Amino acid sequence: MEIINWKELLYPYAQTVDELLLKFRSLDKECRQLGIYSPIDSVTGRLKRPASILEKAGRKQISPDRIEEEIEDIAGIRILCQFVEDIPKVIEMVRKRKDMTVIEERDYITNTKPSGYRSYHMIIRYPLFTALGEKTVPAEIQIRTNAMNFWATAEHSLRYKYSGNIPQDLQDRLKNCAEAAFHLDQEMATIREEITNAQRLNEIKNNLVANILENIQNLYFVAKLDDMNEINKEFIRLWNGDDMEALKKFNEKLNIMAEMYRV
């Protein structure tokens, strides 16, 4: 049997995972900072262990010298979404990128596996620039909801525990749980608009309050102490009242005061 230098073989894949994580986390961060809805809830990555690679190679009758050519999921990232409707948006994000090429897609959400597994898989080719030159590395991107991921993680742990031979009664219970997770996703989709509106309102309020506090802090250096005491009392009253319109008017009043003192 050919001896594999695992450190040398796996390094490009590890670097690929790191770079893909950075790219998609940055994309999520950019959306949030610009106030654009981000379909990405979180991103994680993983590198297949040598034992898992050898097991898959043996199962698929892949010779050691063909591992890099025929095993496409040594490097992988997982993008989690809050809602099923977010998954197509992430898929389009991946398809439109110029720094990677999609070579295969597997839809296990529309075509659920018999076990109940649901996820969307994309196999990509990623151009990696190393100290030894450019190398194209295959990687797998899994896209699923948090509910799908909870089920898949539990199923994977049981499959590992039972060496792939999960007892039939457990398989039946897992399938029932998969259906429950799917129905949870469907129910969450029906209340998505309400959740999104609540998140947007909370973000607006946080930005408004931050602006009010900044104005109050600036006025402390120029306004009278009695005036500041009244301003603080009014802010606390409005904050406790949770009236957004009243807070907006209060902030406008502070903006005018701050402008007057600047003049």
Q: pLDDT tens digits, residue range 151-188?
A: 999 998 888 788 778 899 999 999 999 999 999 998 88
The amino acid at 14: A
Compute the distance between CA of residue 204 and CA of residue 41 in angstroms, rounded to an integer. Answer: 20
Do 95 and 104 contact (CB within 8 A), yes or no?
A: no
Average pLDDT over residues 218-244: 82
Neighbours of 11 (CB within 10 A): 14
Compute the distance between CA of residue 184 and CA of residue 240 in angstroms, rounded to an integer. Answer: 34
Q: What are the Cα distances from residue 245, in Å, to 201, 242, 250?
A: 12, 9, 9
Catalytic residue among 19, 72, 140, 155: 140
| pLDDT value of residue 198 | 82
Could you tell me which residues come within 8 angstroms of residue 189 by beta carbon, excluding any fewer than 6 positions away? 83, 84, 85
Closest CA to 87 of 147, 11, 32, 175: 147
| pLDDT value of residue 229 | 86
Q: What's the token pair of residue 153?
A: 């993680």
Compute the distance between CA of residue 92 and CA of residue 18 in angstroms, rounded to an integer. Answer: 21
Do 73 and 13 contact (CB within 8 A), yes or no?
A: no
Tell me if residue 140 is catalytic: yes
At 142, is the secondary structure helix, strand, or coil? Answer: strand
Beta 133-145 vs 75-81: how paired, if at all? parallel
Secondary structure of 22-44 in HEC code, one letter for each residue: HHHHHHHHHHHHCCCCCCCCEEE
At 139, is the secondary structure helix, strand, or coil? Answer: strand
Residues 182-229 have pLDDT tens digits of: 999 988 888 877 877 787 888 888 888 888 998 888 888 787 767 788
| pLDDT value of residue 263 | 44
| pLDDT value of residue 67 | 93
Residues 2-56 have pLDDT tens digits of: 678 899 999 999 999 999 999 999 999 999 888 888 999 999 999 999 999 999 9
Neighbours of 190 (CB within 10 A): 8
Q: What is the DSSP string of 42-61?
A: EEEEEE--HHHHHHHHHHTT
Sheet containing strand 75-81, strands side by side: 42-47, 75-81, 133-145, 120-130, 101-107
**Host H or E run for residue 126:** strand 120-130
Residues 76-123 have pLDDT tens digits of: 999 999 999 999 999 999 999 999 999 999 999 999 999 999 999 999
For the entire predicted model, the pTM comes to: 0.72
pLDDT band at 262; cut points 50, 70, 90: low
Mean pLDDT, rounded, of the chain: 90
